[in-house]
Structure formats: C-alpha cells, structure tokens
Amino acid sequence: MDIVLTGDRPTGKLHLGHYLGSLKRRVEMQNSGKYKDIYVMIADAQALTDNFDDINKVRNNISEVALDYMACGLDPNKVTIYIQSQIPELCELSFYYMNLVTVSRLQRNPTVKNEIQMRGFNTSIPVGFFTYPISQAADITAFKANLIPVGEDQLPMIEQAREIVRSFNTIYKEVLVEPKAILPDNSTCCRLPGLDGAAKMSKSLGNCIYLSDSSNDIKKKVQSMFTDPTHLRVEDPGHVENNPVFIYLDALCKDEYFAEFLPEYANLQEMKDHYTRGGLGDGKCKKFLNEILQNELKPIRERREELAKDLGYIFDTLEKGSIKAREVASKTMQEVKTAMGINYFGENKLN
Ligand code: TRP
C-alpha cells in the first residue's frame, strides 16, 4: 500500500496556489482512505537554508502553516503532521546521502539554479542551501514514501531523490523506496500565476490571495488583478490565454457556479467565447471570479479562525506528530546503518 509524504516551508501563510496545487489533493487523499500512511511535514530546517538569519520568520510561521493545513481539512487523526527539525535522523541520513551526489549534479538541478538566481546568491551560495535537495531526499526516504504530491517546480527534487535511492540500493542494500511525484490533475493548478500575471503566486512577489484573507481582502485583490492589456473597451476582442482571471477560472470554476452566479452562460467555454469575441467586460469576469473565491475560501477561513483560538491544541498536535514521525524515521535509520555496515553496536558488531 502507498505511503504519501509532502511538506511546505514555513516562510509565510499558505495561499491559493498552495491550496489548488497541493492542499486540496492532500485532503482528498486523506479522505479516500486508500493510503497506508500520509505524512505532512513542516519543513522548518529547509526554510532555514535561506532564512538562517531570520529565525523568527520561520518559527512564527510554523503555527500559521499548521493552521492552514487543518483549516483546509487535514485531520491529525488521519495524517501525521510534524516538524522537520524535530527528526534528527533526517540530518543523519542526509550526511550519508551526500556521498552519493556530485557537486555538478546539484549545480544542474533546475530548481536550485533558479532559486540561486532569485535569491541573488551569485557565487556566495550557502552550502546548506545548495545541498537541500539531498536533505529533501532524506525527508522522503526516511518514511519510505512512494507518492509525493507536489507542484511542478519540485520535480527536479523528486528526480534527485530517485537517483539517491538507486545509488544507495545498488551500493549497499535494497532498503530505500523510489518515490514518484504526483502532480495536480488540473494542469492550470500546477503553477497558479500571481494576481499581477507573474508566472507564480509567491509571497516574495506580493501577488497572493492567502487562505486567511478576509472577504474584503479577496474582493480588493480580485479587483486589482491583471487581465488582458489589449482589452481596453468592453467591445474589444479579449484574450483568455495568459489572462490570470481566466486561468483562475480554469482552476476553480464548476458549471454549477454559472447557474448560481452568472446564469447567462452555461459553462466556462461559453464565457470565454464571449470574451474572445468582444462584448464581455473585465469587471464582470472579476465579479464572477470573486463570487467563486468567496465561496471556496469562506469555509477555510472560518475553520482557521476557530482553530486559531486554541493554539495549544495546534502545538500539541505538532508535538505528537513529531514523536510519531521520529519513530518511523529512526527505524529506517537503523536499516540504513545496517545496510551500510555502520551499526557497530547493533547488527554490524565490531570485533
Ligand atoms: N521543497 C518543498 C517546497 O519548497 C518543501 C519540502 C521539503 C518537501 N521536504 C519535502 C516537499 C519533501 C515534498 C517532500 O515546497
């Protein structure tokens, strides 16, 4: 039976991109009852690789992310929610995996390359940051997870983990399990653009709708969205490609929403056709998108507000989850040590 693992860096509250790209799927997986175990990790140690000088940012966002998780419907009775840094076996595993990866292989990792550029590290790349794909392989393999629901940008990490598993299993012994990424079904959900039309919704770009945003915040943000810059007057023909309003609709819209909020169209295709022909204004499209977002995000926000009243419960949940996760990781660690013959006071006795 499958073991699912995924995680997020606690560098900010989670947003609509996280929800559509990953959280929604996790909740569906949890509720399907089809999986042996589901692990959801708050990757604080990984967040520190590029925020080591901003400990409080990472620290304060641990509970925010946990609140977002549970507000979306992740249930700690069904999934293990835990904090990465509380599982020291992950560092131990990473240390041995480092032997199996070359510097040039890390340099070729497109996600790392891109992040180095985005963070302006140039030639002064912290080693911890540079090697985080290795630690991510430890995150995954410590739990023998085979299914990793992630966004597209994480594919190179999963590939790197698979290579590490293959090397380890070939050089030592078949202990580790090769993971497989699972991307969202709806390809528009894979990489949701920002409100400003930028390629990605991201906290650092300030173009997000957060799961904790108030109804008024959502409305204002939708009104400010970038659309088709060539669509100047209502009568002008418009473009739905690269138009974030339509990309969000692609990601979120169900036919029922037309019956409820915009009955003049039966479905999104009809609405798009009208926009493309000309005669449909951006204001009306945004109003419809706002209704949908309000409808999708209200239950999440309300649950979040309720959960935030008892942070003690959240911390307790994270502590219990971390204890449980550590038991699993330390079992794998023992198997790894035995496979490597370094379990000197256990199965590989020195003599
Ligand atoms: N790198 C992931 C991100 O930035 C977070 C993460 C850390 C992760 N460890 C993981 C995701 C293991 C999946 C599996 O979103």
Render pLDDT for 10-68 as a digit per residue (tens, 0 to 9).
999 999 999 988 898 999 999 999 999 999 999 999 999 999 999 999 999 999 999 99
pLDDT at 183 over 90: no
Give residue ranges with CB within 6 A of ligand 1: 5-9, 43, 46, 136, 139-140, 148, 150, 154, 157
Q: Which of 136, 191, 204 to mutate to test the pocket of ligand 1 (most atoms within 8 A of CB)?
A: 136
pLDDT (0 to 100) of residue 119: 84
Angle, CA 85 vertex, CA 49 and CA 67 arms, to 5°: 95
CA proximity to 87, closest of 305, 304, 319: 319
**How far is it, in rounded angstroms, from Cα 228 to Cα 238?**
7
Taking the CA of residue 157 as reference, the ligand 1 atom at the shortest distance is 1
> Which residues pair with residue 181 across a beta bridge?
148
pLDDT (0 to 100) of residue 191: 77
8 A C-beta contact, residue 82 and residue 43:
no
Residue with the larger pLDDT of the pair 116 and 218: 218
Q: What is the Å distance from ligand 1's center to 137 Cα?
A: 9
CA proximity to 82, closest of 331, 311, 319: 319
Q: Beta strand 3-8 with 37-42: parallel, antiparallel or unpaired?
A: parallel
pLDDT (0 to 100) of residue 156: 95
Mean of per-residue pLDDT scores for the chain: 95
pLDDT (0 to 100) of residue 40: 98
121, amino acid identity: F
**For the chain, percent of residues with pLDDT exceeding 70:** 99
Q: Which of 87, 129, 150 to mutate to test the pocket of ligand 1 (most atoms within 8 A of CB)?
A: 150
